[in-house]
């Protein structure tokens, strides 16, 4: 990836994203009889069951400046309620959150991967989370997977993004001990360097989930930034997801009930080589 010869990380914040979740359903993005219809006309990603739950605010460090620019609203956040709150069967629920620009253009989606979660949780004997992230910046799907490093380890996740020449960079999202609220440090495998932070502030019922990027190269990488924005929103719901996973694991083991996999989740598991490789290349894989 680019930036190999640059010093990575440091104390300077080059970019900041605030995912501010609303305490109520009354807000500027939602108010208006035909507001939802207008958003749906802008993007098919804004589905009929979409509920606007928050706004995105951003600030950047300009060249030569000492401080970040004032926060500016750059978009809004939705959740699909038909597979979340409105789903009567608790074991059939899955979190699907999407990010949009101010003009209603789709930016990214984060989706809970239920079947992966059950497989990982069963193998590790505890509820562990898995999310897929799709962004407008790439056709490659990123996966954020929770890991289990040991009985005394903090809450950790990992993901990677690929570079233009077949290289890739691996990242660990590492929970911090004795923090007020949720605090994570993001480290890159190269030199084991801290390059970002994800934190939350619960000043109201909603919550403000903030991403700060301390690496000049990655601050300009939209794919990387979108993955962290999506993770920042997902941690809002992780306690609910874990409770449901544990309930499902117990019910499944006792033969009382079992979860189902939504067909939209299954569609993410389709053989991608059918779309990305030429037929003549199939013999080489």
Give per-residue pLDDT as tens, 58-73. Answer: 999 998 898 999 999 9
Question: Considering only CA atoms, which of 200, 205, 202 is closest in space to residue 232?
Answer: 200
- Arithmetic mean of pLDDT over the chain: 88
Name the least confident of 106-110, 160-164, 204-208, 265-269: 204-208
**Alpha carbon distance 283, 285 (integer Å):** 6
What is the tally of structural domains in the chain? 1
β-strand pairing of 142-147 with 15-21: unpaired
How far is C-alpha 257 from the geometric centre of its chain's CA atoms?
A: 29
- CA distances, 141 to each of 110, 120, 208 (Å): 10, 19, 26
Give per-residue pLDDT as tens, 101-125. Answer: 999 999 999 999 999 999 999 999 9
Q: Residues 56, 77: contact at Cβ < 8 Å?
A: yes
Instruction: Tell me, yes or no, whether 174 lies in a domain.
Output: yes
Instruction: Tell me, yes or no, whether 3 lies in a domain.
Output: no
**Alpha carbon distance 173, 176 (integer Å):** 10
| Mean pLDDT for the stretch of residues 119-145 | 95
pLDDT at 280: 67
**Alpha carbon distance 36, 149 (integer Å):** 44
Secondary structure of the chain as H, E, C letters: CCCCCCCCCCCCCCEEEEEEECCCCCCCCCCCCCHHHHHHHHCCCCCCCEEEEEEEEEEECCCCCCCCCCCEEEEEEEEEHHHCCCCCCHHHCCCEEEEEECCCCEEEEEEECHHHHHHHHHHHCCCCCEEEEEECCCCCCEEEEEECCCCCCCCEEEEEEECCCCCEEEEEEEECCCCCCCEEEEEECHHHEEEEEEEEECCCCCEEEEEEECCCCHHHCHHHHHHHHHHHHHHHHHHHHHHHHHHHHHHHHCCCCCCCCCHHHHHCCCCCHHHHCCHHHHHHC
Residue with tokens 């010093």: 7
| CB-based contacts of 114, cutoff 8 Å, min separation 6 | 94, 259, 261, 262, 265
Q: For residue 198, what are the domain limits?
A: 15-276
pLDDT at 153: 73
* CATH number, domain with residue 272: 3.20.90
Instruction: Tell me, yes or no, whether 142 lies in a domain.
Output: yes
Burial of 138 (0-12, 13-18, 19+ CB in 10 A): middle
Instruction: Tell me, yes or no, whether 202 lies in a domain.
Output: yes
Secondary structure of 104-127 as H, E, C letters: CCEEEEEEECHHHHHHHHHHHCCC
Give per-residue pLDDT as tens, 152-169. Answer: 678 999 999 998 888 999
Instruction: Tell me, yes or no, whether 254 lies in a domain.
Output: yes
Instruction: Tell me, yes or no, whether 170 lies in a domain.
Output: yes
| Mean pLDDT for the stretch of residues 253-282 | 81
Name the least confident of 61-70, 85-94, 194-203: 194-203
| Residues forming a β-bridge with 16 | 59, 212
Instruction: Tell me, yes or no, whether 283 lies in a domain.
Output: no
Give per-residue pLDDT as tens, 27-44. Answer: 556 545 456 677 777 778
């Amino acid at each position: 990836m680019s930036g190999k010869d640059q010093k990575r990380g440091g104390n300077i914040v080059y970019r900041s994203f605030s995912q501010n979740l609303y305490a109520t359903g009354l807000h500027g993005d939602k108010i208006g009889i035909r507001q939802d219809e207008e958003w749906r006309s802008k993007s098919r990603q804004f589905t009929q069951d979409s509920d606007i739950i928050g706004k995105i605010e951003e600030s950047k460090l300009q060249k030569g400046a000492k401080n970040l620019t004032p926060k500016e609203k750059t978009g809004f956040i939705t959740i699909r309620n038909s597979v979340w709150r409105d789903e009567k069967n608790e074991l059939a629920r899955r979190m699907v959150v999407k990010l949009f620009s101010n003009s209603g253009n789709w930016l990214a989606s984060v989706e809970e991967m239920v079947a992966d979660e059950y497989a990982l949780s069963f193998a590790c004997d505890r509820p562990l989370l898995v999310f897929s992230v799709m962004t407008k910046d790439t056709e490659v799907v990123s996966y954020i997977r929770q890991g289990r490093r040991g009985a005394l380890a903090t809450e950790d996740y990992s993901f990677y993004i690929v570079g233009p020449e077949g290289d890739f960079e691996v990242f660990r999202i590492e929970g911090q001990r004795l923090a007020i609220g949720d605090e994570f440090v993001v480290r890159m495998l190269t030199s084991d360097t801290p390059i970002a932070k994800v934190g939350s502030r619960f000043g109201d019922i909603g919550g403000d989930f903030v991403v700060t990027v301390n690496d000049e190269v990655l601050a300009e990488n939209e794919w990387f930034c979108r993955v962290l924005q999506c993770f920042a929103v997902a941690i809002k719901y992780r306690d609910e997801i874990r409770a449901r996973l544990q309930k499902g694991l117990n019910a499944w083991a006792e033969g009382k009930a079992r979860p189902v996999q939504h067909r939209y989740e299954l569609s993410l598991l389709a053989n991608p080589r059918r779309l990305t490789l030429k037929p003549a290349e199939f013999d080489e894989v």
